[in-house]
């Protein structure tokens, strides 16, 4: 986890706030040394940061006042200055960050377009995160909202973050998620989750643990390049890694040694194949041939009978057709028409068997390199049935309508961002980020 960036925060009345550098360094050092607590100075007040079983706490020794604290790890592969992804769950009062090992898996599953990320085997009890228009975690039948937070990292820390003790602190946080949720779900007070013990002192590096969520890092792996794995965007390349020195085992597709030809590991299930063998399999269907784990892209429930048509205008033509874009005088215009006739809802719609009302929508893009790039992404999103869904119209409040699913479109040529029109300088960047949320990146 050489590239992970750790920081610490405590909960203020106004929300989570980062500790200053001195406090952060002290906390990291204590954590790395496996201490149960550490003295810090928080804005002039000397406090104790306690690595408590129920989660880290900042304690004022004079008043006894306790604040929640938390450790934030920006997932593997994130670098300062880049967007970092963190998944959080809502405990009924606050959004709580998942431990990094959960966050990384959730993000990988979401990226892969999977319907859910299942931790049941890992934690020995019903613990799943499901993705839909909204994401939910289910723990022993109790559902709570889940969200993804993307932040831009501040400049790199002066020293590399200490590696957390294996199986100790991190698995305690994982246990905390389960324990707190179990409590909220009304489980018996004595209910335990694997790898945790309610009465144990704060865990140090030598603490025994029956369940560790930490993934061993493999020095042998390297990311796959798009050249190695041109899959038309149907399988995300980050889900496969090349293996430099594979074990002397057979590829189950061709029964020849993995060492004979370039080999890859599927990152969600760790099964290994020859690159050319898995490419052939994925061309048939994007599932691991051994365990049938899905590696395909995310698709939505947009009605299948819709159409997307595109018309491009030169600036002169656009002016005559009254579709010239404000703030882009001189530029051509791409006009997208979406059209959905009325229909009947299918099994993956809110009211199967009920009619839904169709819609016609128009969207505008600047006919330049950026606009054409976004158009290509919007076409992919539409093909994957992600652009629209069936639900309640935000504007009319009516149910059973074909509605936008959350990829923003410019529906007016003018009027600025407030009118969903132009000019809007950050639109391209925003819509690309939204498309990426839906797994549409190419
Ligand atoms: Zn093979
Ligand atoms: Zn597999």
The mean per-residue pLDDT over the stretch 21-33 comes to: 84
Q: What is the mean pLDDT of residues 411-427?
A: 93
Instruction: Tell me how far apart the alpha carbons of residues 264 and 238 are, in angstroms, rounded to a whole number.
Output: 11
- The model's pLDDT over 302-349, given as tens digits with 9 standing for 90+, comes to 999 999 999 999 999 999 999 999 999 999 999 999 999 999 999 889
Percent of the chain with pLDDT over 70: 72
The rounded Å distance from CA 240 to ligand 1 centre is 15
pLDDT of residue 146: 83
| Ligand 2 centroid, distance to 242 Cα (angstroms) | 15
pLDDT at 77 exceeding the cut of 50: no
Q: Hey, what are 291's tokens?
A: 């365990």
Distance of CA 251 from the midpoint of ligand 1 (Å): 4
Average pLDDT over residues 279-290: 82
pLDDT greater than 80 at residue 85: no
Q: Compute the distance from residue 258 Cα to the ligand 2 centre, in Å.
A: 15
The CATH architecture one would assign to domain 221-284 is 2-Layer Sandwich (3.30)
Distance 292 CA to ligand 1 centre (A): 17
> Cα torsion for 430, 431, 435, 438, to the nearest 10°?
70
Residue 406 has pLDDT above 90, yes or no: no
**What is the reported pLDDT for 367?**
97
Both tokens of 52, joined, read: 């408590």
32 near 101, Cβ under 8 Å?
no
Mean pLDDT, range 41-61, rounded to an integer: 82
pLDDT on residue 237: 64
Average pLDDT of the chain to the nearest whole number: 76
In this prediction, what percent of the chain has a pLDDT beyond 90? 30
Closest ligand to the CA of 286: 2
- For the chain, which residues make up each domain, given as ranges? 5-184, 221-284, 307-437
Among 7-11, 241-245, 291-295, which is the least confidently predicted range? 291-295
Question: How crowded is residue 187: how many other Cβ atoms within 10 Å of its Cβ?
Answer: 19
Judged against a pLDDT cut of 50, whether residue 208 lies above it is answered with: no
Distance CA 270, CA 208 (A): 26
pLDDT of 166 over the 50 cut: no
- pLDDT given at position 183: 43
Read off the pLDDT of each residue in 77-90 and give the average, rounded to a whole number.
Answer: 63
Q: Does domain 5-184 have CATH number 3.30.720.50?
A: yes
Q: What is the CA(296)–ligand 2 centre distance, in A?
A: 13
For 90-111, write each residue's pLDDT tens digit: 776 667 788 776 787 888 888 7
Q: Is the backbone peptide bond immediately before 423 cis, with ω within 30 degrees of 0?
A: yes
What does the pLDDT read at residue 398? 92
Q: Going along 116-248, which residue ranges are E strands?
A: 116-118, 127-131, 135-139, 142-152, 221-223, 240-243
Provide the pLDDT for residue 151.
65
Q: Is 56 left (phi over 0), alpha (psi -120 to 50) or beta?
A: beta
Average pLDDT on 4-32 reads 82
Return the biggest CA–CA distance within the chain: 76
Residue 126 has pLDDT above 80, yes or no: no
Encode pLDDT of 210-229 as tens digits.
Answer: 333 334 445 566 665 544 44
Rounded to the nearest 10 degrees, what angle do helices 369-383 and 427-437 cross at? 20
The whole-number pLDDT of residue 103 equals 81
Q: Give pLDDT, residue 220.
A: 62
Please tell me the distance between residue 123's alpha carbon and the centre of ligand 2 in angstroms.
Answer: 19
Query: Are 189 and 124 within 8 A, CB to CB?
Result: no
Confidence at residue 83, expressed as pLDDT on a 0 to 100 scale: 54
73 vs 194: which has the higher pLDDT: 73
Q: Which CATH class is domain 307-437?
A: alpha beta
Residue 275 has pLDDT above 70, yes or no: yes
Q: If pLDDT is split at 50, 70 and 90, which confidence band does 162 have?
A: very low
Question: What's the pLDDT tens digit per position in 227-237?
Answer: 444 444 456 66
Q: Residue 110 is inside which H or E element, if any? A: helix 100-111
- Which pLDDT tens digit goes with each residue over 353-393? 999 999 999 999 999 999 999 999 999 999 989 999 999 98
Domains 5-184 and 307-437 share a fold: no
Residue 295 alpha carbon to ligand 1 centre in Å: 18
| Ligand that comes closest to the CA of residue 267 | 2
């Amino acid at each position: 986890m050489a590239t992970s960036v750790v920081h610490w925060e405590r909960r203020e009345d106004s929300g989570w706030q980062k500790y200053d550098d001195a406090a952060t360094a002290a906390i990291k050092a204590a954590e790395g040394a496996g201490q149960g607590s550490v003295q810090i100075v928080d804005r002039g007040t000397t406090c104790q940061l306690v690595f408590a079983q129920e989660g880290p706490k900042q304690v004022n020794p004079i008043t006894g006042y306790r604040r929640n604290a938390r450790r934030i790890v920006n997932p593997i592969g994130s670098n300062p200055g880049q967007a970092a992804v963190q998944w959080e769950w809502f405990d009924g009062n606050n959004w709580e960050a998942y431990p990094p090992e959960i966050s990384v898996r959730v993000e990988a599953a979401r990226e892969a377009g999977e319907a859910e990320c299942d931790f049941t085997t890992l934690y020995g009890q019903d613990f799943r995160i499901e993705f839909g228009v909204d994401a939910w975690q289910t723990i022993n039948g109790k559902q709570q909202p889940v969200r993804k937070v993307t932040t831009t990292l501040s400049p790199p820390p002066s020293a590399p973050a200490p590696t957390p003790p294996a199986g100790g602190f991190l698995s305690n946080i994982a246990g905390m998620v389960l324990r707190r949720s179990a409590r909220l779900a009304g489980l018996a007070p004595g209910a335990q989750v694997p790898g945790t013990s309610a009465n144990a002192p704060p865990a140090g590096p030598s603490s025994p643990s029956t369940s560790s969520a930490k993934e061993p890092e493999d020095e042998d792996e390297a990311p796959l390049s798009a050249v190695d794995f041109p899959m038309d965007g149907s399988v995300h390349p980050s889900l496969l890694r090349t293996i430099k020195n594979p074990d002397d085992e057979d590829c189950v597709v061709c029964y020849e040694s993995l060492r004979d030809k370039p080999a890859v590991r599927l990152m969600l299930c760790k099964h290994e194949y020859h690159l050319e063998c898995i490419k052939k399999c994925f061309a048939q269907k994007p599932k691991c041939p051994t365990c049938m784990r899905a590696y395909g892209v995310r698709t939505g429930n947009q009605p299948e009978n819709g159409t997307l048509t595109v018309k491009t205008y030169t600036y002169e033509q656009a002016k005559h057709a009254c579709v010239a874009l404000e703030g882009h005088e001189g530029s051509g215009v791409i006009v997208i028409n979406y059209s959905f006739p009325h229909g009947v809802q299918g099994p993956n719609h809110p009211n199967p068997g009920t009619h839904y009302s169709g819609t016609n929508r128009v969207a505008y893009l600047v006919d330049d390199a950026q606009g054409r790039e976004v158009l290509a992404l919007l076409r992919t999103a539409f093909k994957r049935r992600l652009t629209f869904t069936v639900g309640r119209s935000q504007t009319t409040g009516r149910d059973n309508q074909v509605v936008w699913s959350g990829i923003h479109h410019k529906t007016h040529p003018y009027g600025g961002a407030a009118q969903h029109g132009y000019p809007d300088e950050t639109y391209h960047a925003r819509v690309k980020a939204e498309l990426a949320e839906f797994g549409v990146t190419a």
